[in-house]
Amino acid sequence: MRLKIDLLPVALLILFPLYVYLYNLGLIKLLAGYVVIFILREVIILTPIFNPSKDHKLILEGIHISPYVEKVRWCLDYIDQDYVEEQDVGILGLLLLGRRVPVLKVPTKNIKITNSSDILRYVYAIAKNKSKEVAQFLEPTPQVISYISYICTNVVENLVIYCTECKNMKKANIILGSKSTIF
C-alpha cells in the first residue's frame, strides 16, 4: 500500500483523538476537528472528479501473488491493453480503507473497479471495442454456462436438503424463495 494523499484523512482520524487527549482540548474542539477532517476528506475525494487525469493508461492495484490479480493481469496482457501495475500490501488496504485487491483505476473517467469479475467485464468491453476476435476468449461457451447452472442448481438443492434434515424449514424457505410451496 502506497502512502498517498488519500490516506491523510484516515491518519488524521486515528491521530486526532490522541492529540486532543494529550493537549486536553475538550469535546467541542474534538468535534470541530472531525468536521474539518470530514471537509478535508471530501475535498481530497472530489478534486479528481472535477480534474480527471489525461493519462490513458489503466492502473491495476494488487498483490503480486494474488490469483485474482493474475487473472486480470493476464487478460489485460492478452488484449494488449496499456496499464501500470502498482503493488499493494493488501492487509493495510483492507484494515485502513476497507477494500480488497484487485482494483482497476481508469484515470480518464475517474472510476475504480474493485471485483476481479467486474474488472473482467470492463476488460471485455474494451476488448470488444478493439476487435471481435480478441474479445472471443472472454465470452462464456455453452459448456461453461451449462456447468455453472448445473453447479448452482445442485448447490441450492443440497442446501435445501441440509436445512430440511436439520429441521430448519425457515432457512429452507429462505433459500428457495418466498414463493416456494414445497414446505
pLDDT tens-digit readout, 14-65? 889 999 989 998 889 999 999 998 898 888 777 766 666 667 789 998 887 8
Whole-number pLDDT of residue 142? 85
Whole-number pLDDT of residue 122? 92
Return mean pLDDT, the chain: 77
Looking at per-residue pLDDT, the higher value among 154 and 112 belongs to: 112
Whole-number pLDDT of residue 65? 81
124/146 same-domain check = no
Dist. CA 164–CA 159, nearest whole Å: 9
In 3D space, the residue among 118, 58, 66 whose CA is nearest the CA of residue 90 turns out to be 66
28/76 same-domain check = no
Instruction: Calculate mean pLDDT across residues 113-120.
Output: 88
Give Cα 76 to chain centroid, integer Å.
17
Whole-number pLDDT of residue 169? 56
The whole model's pTM is what? Answer: 0.58
**Which residues contact residue 94 at a Cβ distance below 8 angstroms, ignoring those fewer than 6 apart?**
100
Is residue 173 left, alpha or beta, with left meaning phi > 0 and alpha meaning psi from -120 to 50? alpha
Range of the domain at 112: 58-138
Whole-number pLDDT of residue 12? 86
Dist. CA 91–CA 101, nearest whole Å: 10
Residue 110 resides in a domain: yes
32/85 same-domain check = no
- Condensed to tens digits (0 to 9), the pLDDT of residues 84-103 reads 998 876 566 666 566 667 88
How many domains are contained in the chain? Answer: 3
Dist. CA 157–CA 170, nearest whole Å: 15
Instruction: Calculate mean pLDDT across residues 4-20.
Output: 83
